[in-house]
Amino acid sequence: MLEQILSYMSTVDPALIYAILFFFAFIENVFPPSPSDVVVVVGASLIASTSLTFIPVLVITSLGSALGFILMYYVGYFFSEKLLRTGKIKFISKEALAKTDSWFAKYGYKLILVNRFLPGTRSVISFFSGVYVLDVKKTFLFASVSAFLWNIIIVFLGLQVGYNVQKIDYYLTTYSNIVLAVTLLILSVLIIRYFLRKKRVK
């Protein structure tokens, strides 16, 4: 399938390829199953055989990612105003919301800065950035930096692997699995520590 996509993309107008790269980079935050990283790597692999160039590919994909992040930010902001902060969600107390507000205000920008390196959490982080009303300008800045740094890696990867689709899939799948395993390990440790502290208090 990817081989066919590569073959097709190498024959179309470069402007259309840029538009495709922007679309997939943008849509990932809105529709997480979107294979945006694979598409970006595939697009980067075409740099050697088409008139695509490194900088435009990097800028367009980074801008798409950042704008998609901001779209989900505003979705989160809408829900925070209409649902959370009006108390219509009964299972979230105002006290719990206040604590989470404080926590996300403290660590939120750091999460945004690393969000592109955390597969599976990107749309969640963008959504809750809006829920807890982080500064939109700072949010866009950190989201842009995160996207830019991540896309440097995957565009470079695309240049290195070229048309070797198996390598593309292998590298991205391996990375996602490692990050997921580490994230689950950290969450497990935090949960265990929480219950141990709760037990000591009793």
Q: What is the pLDDT of residues 93-132, one digit of tens each?
A: 555 555 556 667 777 788 888 888 876 677 778 888 888 8
What pLDDT is stored for residue 69 in this prediction?
A: 93
More confident of the two residues 49 and 95: 49
Find the mean pLDDT for residues 61-80: 89
Q: How confident is the model at residue 91 (pLDDT cuts 50, 70, 90)?
A: very low
What pLDDT is stored for residue 29 in this prediction?
A: 79
What pLDDT is stored for residue 71 in this prediction?
A: 93
Find the mean pLDDT for residues 54-69: 91
What pLDDT is stored for residue 3 in this prediction?
A: 63
Residue 144 lies in a domain: yes
Give me Rg for the CA atoms of the chain. Answer: 19
Residue 110 lies in a domain: yes
Residue 104 lies in a domain: yes
Residue 23 lies in a domain: yes
Q: Tokens for 16, please give them.
A: 């259309």
For residue 158, is pLDDT > 70? yes
The domain containing residue 97 runs over which residues?
Answer: 2-164
Report CA-CA distances (Å) from 18 to 27, 47, 70: 14, 11, 20
Q: How confident is the model at residue 59 (pLDDT cuts 50, 70, 90)?
A: very high
What pLDDT is stored for residue 172 in this prediction?
A: 64
Residue 156 lies in a domain: yes
What pLDDT is stored for residue 108 in this prediction?
A: 79
Find the mean pLDDT for residues 25-43: 76
Q: CA 26 to CA 128: how far, in whole Å?
A: 18
CA dihedral 104, 105, 111, 115 (to 10 degrees): 90
- Angle, CA of 145, 120 and 44, to the nearest 5°: 55
Residue 133 lies in a domain: yes
Q: Tokens for 17, please give them.
A: 């390829």
Domain count, the chain: 1
Residue 14 lies in a domain: yes
More confident of the two residues 181 and 128: 128
**Percent of the chain topping pLDDT 70:** 63
For residue 149, is pLDDT > 60? yes
Residue 175 lies in a domain: no
For residue 1, is pLDDT > 60? no
**DSSP three-state, residue 124:** helix
